[in-house]
Chain A
Amino acid sequence: MQIKYFSWVKDQIGLESENITITEKINSVNDLINHLKNKNEQYEKAFEDISVIRCAVNMEVTNLDKKISDNDEIAFFPPMTGG
């Protein structure tokens, strides 16, 4: 599974993207966030306040309870500020 990070989420984690292998325990975006938060303090801090985190699965913005699988591209970012 490829994960991409943008804006301050990327700064906080210190990575633009990474690949992780999905385990049985990760069924949804929420599961993935919990998995990442356990990696280290940087991830924990990035996902500390879920209300300011937005997620896209395969480039479509989605809720955090969205089911995900190994072939998906997941992206985490703060609210978008275009225009």
Chain B
Amino acid sequence: MIKVQKNDFDVNLEIKNITSLNKNIGGTSLFIGNVRKDNNSNLKSMTLEHYPIMTEKQLEKINNEAKNRWNLIDSLIIHRYGKLYPGDQIVLVATFSKHRTDALNACEFLIDWLKTKAPFWKLEESNAGSNWVKEKRSDLDAVNKW
């Protein structure tokens, strides 16, 4: 399932909604991304812009790709947009399988993919002004390994 939303999410509730319906799930792998404020940073907030409809379409596509590559019982991607603050949750990737390897690998694949191929853009805001976050070489390398 794909959810692109402004509101925060409750990880426990989201996971239980799926595990309670599928008693054959043996392992769940989770990735939760938060707005990070480094110790020497003056970050106040981060605004996530996205391309509505394209975001959902691209997330659906990659979610299906993960289901083709690994033996998943279910998978869930929640990605927030709008103005967020340090510590806030940005993204949840959860993958559910009978055995751990499928869930672990699919989860890593999905978050690696999201970093460079989901149509989101991050604007960091501080007292000094605002600037758009640039693509990272390490994120490109991470997605290329799949």
Contact = CB atoms under 8 A, between A and B. Distances in A.
Interface residues of A, number: 15
Interface in A45-83: 56, 59, 61, 75, 77-83
B16 interface: no
Contacts, number: 65
A4 interface: yes
Interface in B51-83: 51, 53-54, 57-58, 79
A1 B90 CA distance: 33
A4 to B, nearest CB: 7
B51 A81 contact: no
B110 to A, nearest CB: 9
Contact of A80 (B57, B90, B135): B135
Contacts of B79: 82-83
B114 interface: yes
Of listed A59, A75, A77, A78, residue having the most chain B CB within 10 A: A59
A78 B131 CA distance: 13
Interface SS of chain B = mixed
Contacts of A78: 121, 132, 134-135
Given A81-B121, A81-B134, A59 B51 contact: yes
B90 A83 contact: yes
B98 interface: no
Given A6-B51, A83-B114, 5 more contacts: A56-B51, A59-B53, A79-B134, A82-B117, A83-B120
Q: Lowest 3 A-B CB distances belong to which pairs?
A: A82-B118, A79-B135, A82-B120
